[in-house]
Amino acid sequence: MDGTQQSQSFSTFSIQSALTSQEVPEATAVKIAALQAKLNQTLGPEYISQSPGPGDGPSFVYIEEWKMINLANEVFGFNGWSSSVVKLTTDFIDCSEASGRYSISVTALIRVTLSDGVFHEDVGSGMIENATSKGLALDKCKKDAVSDGLKRALRKFGNLLGNCLYDESYIQEVPKFNQSEIHRYPEFQETRPNIASTSETIQSSSDRSPSSNPAGVLVNVKKEPIPCQPFMAPPKPYSMSFRARKHKC
């Protein structure tokens, strides 16, 4: 589900229609366009985790919750979004009479709301089988359901927040994608120096006097080692003898 809070005047549809009719200020339109362009990016391979499928089935890919939260903070800002548990339901709690172990299933309806009131909702699930402790099993199922619902709700905002993981062609071709089309960790981003500006800086610095040191020009300073000085004890303070002091007086 998606929409806006009742106290807000804009919904997803009204924002799009307002942009079409140019009722939104230019700064707001530029901000929304930049946000949409970022959300259209896909995830780099370092964001993707794999888990073996049941039995001999194929493995499935997913993104860990902490990575998803970091992405949401990066896209919307730490104070630009929030999540809430709309509904938490325990589907069943079965206890085996023979083994005394528990099988539990929990579902959670999670809502993710942006600062302008636009929100998305989705359902997450958590299940465990043959658990020895009923309380610990319930605790794990609830956390898994909330985590799953949060990720499923965030993915509705765009590819960058996990929706691209549902595209099979993306999973197969992600290592071949253009670097400009995917979102990477800062250490994986390609940084190319501006050769033109570098050559201009070198040319301008060569025209100046050797004594000048313009800003932005690196100067290699050779550090000379400090010679070791032998340790010398301080001189003893001068003191006159008793006879000399008496003669002086």
Residues ≥6 apart with Cβ < 8 Å to 146: 85, 88, 108, 110, 124, 126
143-152, 164-173, 235-244: range with lowest mean pLDDT: 235-244
Nearest to 185 by CA among 78, 71, 61: 71
pLDDT 10s digits, 122-143? 999 999 999 999 999 999 999 9
Predicted pLDDT at 92 = 97
CA dist 248 and 132 (Å) reads 101
CATH numeric code, 40-175: 3.30.390.80
As a whole-number percent, the residues of the chain with pLDDT over 90 amount to 44
Tokens of 75: 């896209």
SS3 string, 75-119, reads: HHCCCCEEEEEEEEEEEEEEECCCCCCEEEEEEEEEEEEECCCEE
pLDDT 10s digits, 226-237? 555 555 555 555
Residue scoring higher pLDDT (172 or 154): 154
**Whether the model pTM is above 0.85:** no
Predicted pLDDT at 192 = 44
pLDDT 10s digits, 47-66? 988 887 777 767 788 999 99
